[in-house]
Structure 1
Amino acid sequence: MNNRLVLISGCSGSGKSTLLAELSARGHAVVEEPGRRIIAEEMASEGKSLPWVDLAAFLRRAIDIALADRIAMSSHDGWVFFDRGLVDAASALEALNGEPTLRPLCMRHRYHHRVFMAPPWPEIYTTDADRKHGLDAARAEYHRLMEVVPALGYDVIELPKMSTSERADLVLASLCGDLINPDR
């Protein structure tokens, strides 16, 4: 099992993508959020798997993409950082319609034992063409994930509200001990 697949999750609009860009600039492999990729594809093709049109279809596609991303990056030698992933999509689908996808999928397809969670950060939160939901919905999403992620056996590290560079330093320092014992 590759324990170098690291999930960065949490609240929408809380600096996750900016953190991933910083980790990429430092030479680490990163995987863009499935949701943003789906929205770009669906908008280009006038598709219907958009979160504001058919949320269940959107989440099923996000699960498929997150699984493909994990498989594609599983043999990578260094750290791989995921901007959201399987846990996010599966837990959202389960919350939406009660489909019991979360536990079976997420226990079979694990990330590194530490998951970094970005909390709500109203001072930087914005909506855009792809993020139409407000801060209250983002907060609810965060609280759902803060229940789900530890219940799946992950150690949660909440990212402090600090500069992007400091956040990247914290993530990398938190993972340094795992270089000594990478099979944990």
Structure 2
Amino acid sequence: MAALLRMVVTGGPGTGKSTLLDALELRGLATEPEVARAILREEGGMALRADDPAGFALAMFDAELSAFRRVEAESGPVLFDRGFPDIAGFLHLEGLSVPAAIDRACRELRYEGPIFRAPPWDAIYRRDAERIQDWDAALASDAAVSAAWREYGYTLIDLPLADVSQRADFVLSRISGEL
């Protein structure tokens, strides 16, 4: 039985993370969806994000912690759409401090596998009902979350600016040596 290998795709909004996870799931890789988008789609989610960024971060943390723990019984690789350091990056971007529980999770609840970064890509960036940032804000978000991952001791692997099939091939080739 293969050991659990938690991996992450991170990066700013609109960089193709969720699309990549969907493609990898179709190829048989276990995935965990982005918790922030799920919260934003709930009643009051957009207002929570706008009116109480610290509360939004705590809601993301609770959901991310549940997802992290839910897969502990799994074996083999699981690819997450974002992780704990993304929450720290969001808080930094908002000019807020990182609560002790989130900092502790970033330090102690480690992802074992590669951390892939979907770099900003203007050609595919689109705003939608939950992705409200303009291009400059998306760039700032990428910088903040990337810095947070590095701050917590992770090395990021940039995904190529390529179609989703090529990106999926890239991820699968990188994790084949980890399995």
- The two structures share one fold, judged by TM-score above 0.5: yes
2:27 paired with 1:61: no
State how many pairs are aligned: 175
Q: 1:12 is aligned with what amino acid? A: P
TM-score normalised by length of structure 1: 0.87
2:75 paired with 1:77: yes
CA contact (8 A) 1:94 1:100 kept: no
Identity across aligned pairs (percent)?
A: 36
Q: 1:89: Cα distance to partner?
A: 1.3
| Superimposed CA distance per residue, residues 73-112 of structure 1 (whole angstroms, 9 cap, x where no aligned partner) | 1221121111112111133224431234454221111112
- For 1:152, the equivalent position in structure 2 comes to 152
Change (3 A) 1:48 1:172: closer
- For 1:182, the equivalent position in structure 2 comes to none
2:15 paired with 1:17: no
- For 1:141, the equivalent position in structure 2 comes to 141
Provide the rounded CA distance (Å) in 2 between the counterparts of 1:47 and 1:107.
Answer: 27
- For 2:106, the equivalent position in structure 1 comes to 106
- For 1:170, the equivalent position in structure 2 comes to 170
CA contact (8 A) 1:13 1:125 kept: yes
Q: 1:144: Cα distance to partner?
A: 1.5
CA contact (8 A) 1:34 1:85 kept: no
- For 2:128, the equivalent position in structure 1 comes to 128
Could you tell me which runs of 5 or more consecutive residues in structure 2 were left unpaired when the two chains were aligned: none
Indicate the SS of the match to 2:140: helix
Q: 1:144 is aligned with what amino acid? A: A
Provide the rounded CA distance (Å) in 1 between the counterparts of 2:28 and 2:38.
Answer: 22
Could you tell me which runs of 5 or more consecutive residues in structure 1 were left unpaired when the two chains were aligned: 180-184
Indicate the SS of the match to 1:4: strand
Provide the rounded CA distance (Å) in 1 between the counterparts of 2:13 and 2:53.
Answer: 16
Change (3 A) 1:59 1:103: closer
| Superimposed CA distance per residue, residues 130-151 of structure 1 (whole angstroms, 9 cap, x where no aligned partner) | 1111111111111112222122
- For 1:36, the equivalent position in structure 2 comes to 37
Provide the rounded CA distance (Å) in 1 between the counterparts of 2:154 and 2:98.
Answer: 22
Indicate the SS of the match to 2:148: helix
CA contact (8 A) 1:22 1:165 kept: yes
| Superimposed CA distance per residue, residues 40-66 of structure 1 (whole angstroms, 9 cap, x where no aligned partner) | 12x2xx467532232221111001100
- For 1:52, the equivalent position in structure 2 comes to 50
CA contact (8 A) 2:116 2:157 kept: yes
